[in-house]
Amino acid sequence: MGIVSIDGWTVTQWDAIEGFKNGLHLFTLDELQEVAINNTEESQDVTGAGGSILNSNKRNKGCNGTGTNGLLSGGLMEVQTGGKQTTKDIVILQKDTITVTADMASANKVSITKTPTGTAGAEIQYVYVKGATEVVTTYQQAVDAGEGKFAYDNKEITFAASAIAEGNVVTVYYNVKLTDDTGVKITNDASKYSTECELVYTGLAKNACGKEACFQFSVPRADFTGNFNLEMGDSQTTHSFEWTALKNKCSTSNNFWDFIIFPDED
Amino acid sequence: MLKRCGVCNKEFEPCNQCPSGGYAWRKTVCCVEHSVPFLAILEYKRNLKSKDEAMEILNKYTDIEYNDDVKKIVDEILFVPVAESVESEIDEADEPVSKPRSRKKS
């Protein structure tokens, strides 16, 4: 049986939001926690004698959407920041905390866990040594170890004689380059801005007689803003978003959106 | 926090935001000119450059007043046993002694 009217239907489930750019799939948000689609229009009264309303001028029609996905979406972040995800040339910060053993103290050396990347001679830059009195001494990287200086080579940090003692805690921060395709990065470039894409909301609807059907809510031009929050509180970090529908001038229909209910059958 | 140049005694404000590509010298030395001898000294210390290779570079920078952190290494690079340079003039039984080679100014 076909569906010939929206009357009597209610949306019972928002399944997902799919994002596309010229047919290319950008993201799927399928852990939706909050969804809102707001439609707006302003009207200005045209008044006559005694202020009686004769007519109204309507303008500023618009539509915008907001929502929250329970999981982070890289594709959505690309649209919101204008950035691109990459799995190449990723550099992360590594922190090593090393408790000095008797052997390390006698050799005046400690080993770090990974190979640092960066400017030769400044791969580590500073090292912090907490002594027995809890006083933290900062050492600066130099070509050779000396007073207040340490040398680095091949995952080994060398101090001057007697600079470190057993039980001291050495803290080292340095950058490590990940092997390609072992991590992913998205960059929020200050010179790039959020972009637009086509959105299709999908889900289920039910009518008063208990009949279920699918719905699709399509926005040909959803212009995302760069306003989104990554927050942590009582629950996990969620991914919020907001967009404004743009008039689809490229189409003859000028649609902000289409709302379709259809039976899930061949 | 000011940092002493990795080559000379001049203090400078290090910068971690140097543009990528090329050597980010502002992290280690006070001026771009000093980055060349600095790398030569560092690579010699890390056994990535031979003494002769490092010496060839340092001999082009004869007007630098090296700081105490690197002076010992610089001297090590620039000093060679006499036996090596005037081999023919020394009796085979003589002990080799050290003298500076081609360093114009320290």
Average pLDDT along chain B, 106 residues, taken 10 residues at a time: 92 82 88 95 96 96 93 92 62 52 48
Shortest Cα distance from B97 to chain A (angstroms)? 25
User: CA angle, corner A162, sides to A158 and A164, nearest 5?
Assistant: 65
Say if residue A103 is in the same domain as residue A135: yes
A173 forms bridges with which residues in the sheet? A95
A2 found inside a domain: no
CB contact under 8 A, A121 and B28: yes
A217 Cβ contact partners less than 8 Å away, ≥ 6 residues apart: A37, A200, A201, A202, A257, A258, A259, A260
User: Smallest Cβ distance to B42: which of A143, A146, A149?
Assistant: A143
Give pLDDT tens digits for A56-74. 999 999 999 999 999 999 9
A253 found inside a domain: yes
Say if residue A170 is in the same domain as residue A40: no
Identity of the residue numbered A124? I
Residue A243: name the closest of A261, A217, A216, A215 by CA.
A217
Q: Is B51 helix (H, G, I), strand (E, B) or coil?
A: helix
**What is the predicted pLDDT for the residue at A105?**
97
CB contact under 8 A, A154 and B46: yes
The β-bridge relationship of strands A149-153 and A136-141 is parallel
Q: Which residue of A has its CA nearest to B7?
A: A143
Q: Is A13 helix (H, G, I), strand (E, B) or coil?
A: strand
A146 touches chain B (CB under 8 A): yes
- Give A-chain residues touching B38 at CB under 8 angstroms: 121, 143
- Give A-chain residues touching B43 at CB under 8 angstroms: 120
How many CB contacts within 8 angstroms connect chain A with chain B? 49
Q: How far apart are CA A247 and CA A252, in angstroms?
A: 11
Last residue of a domain, one of A133, A149, A177: A177
B77 Cβ contact partners less than 8 Å away, ≥ 6 residues apart: B40, B41, B44, B51, B54, B55, B58
Structural domain boundaries in chain B: 3-82
Q: How far apart are CA B72 and CA A144, in angstroms?
A: 9
Burial class (CB in 10 A: 0-12, 13-18, 19+), B53: middle
Say if residue A172 is in the same domain as residue A206: no
- Give A-chain residues touching B49 at CB under 8 angstroms: none
Q: Is A179 helix (H, G, I), strand (E, B) or coil?
A: coil
Number of separate domains in chain A: 2
**Domain, as residue range, for A134:** 91-177
Tell me the whole-structure pTM to 2 decimals: 0.80
Give pLDDT tens digits for A23-43. 999 999 999 999 999 999 999
Identity of the residue numbered A42? E
Enter the ipTM.
0.73
Say if residue A34 is in the same domain as residue A107: no
A202 found inside a domain: yes
Shortest Cα distance from B59 to chain A (angstroms)? 19
Crossing angle between the packed helical segments B51-58 and B32-45, to the nearest 10 degrees: 160
Q: Are B10 and A118 in contact (CB under 8 A)?
A: no
Q: Is A247 helix (H, G, I), strand (E, B) or coil?
A: coil
Q: Is B25 helix (H, G, I), strand (E, B) or coil?
A: helix
Last residue of a domain, one of A177, A201, A235: A177
User: CA angle, corner A223, sides to A81 and A33, nearest 5?
Assistant: 80
B6 touches chain A (CB under 8 A): yes
Q: Are A264 and A214 in contact (CB under 8 A)?
A: yes
A120 touches chain B (CB under 8 A): yes
A121 touches chain B (CB under 8 A): yes
Last residue of a domain, one of A177, A204, A220: A177
Identity of the residue numbered A226? G
Give pLDDT tens digits for A213-258. 999 999 999 999 999 988 877 888 999 999 999 987 777 778 899 9
Query: For the domain that residue A194 is a member of, what is the CATH number?
Result: 2.30.110
Say if residue A128 is in the same domain as residue A251: no
A4 found inside a domain: no
B38 touches chain A (CB under 8 A): yes
**What is the predicted pLDDT for the residue at B105?**
46
Say if residue A160 is in the same domain as residue A131: yes
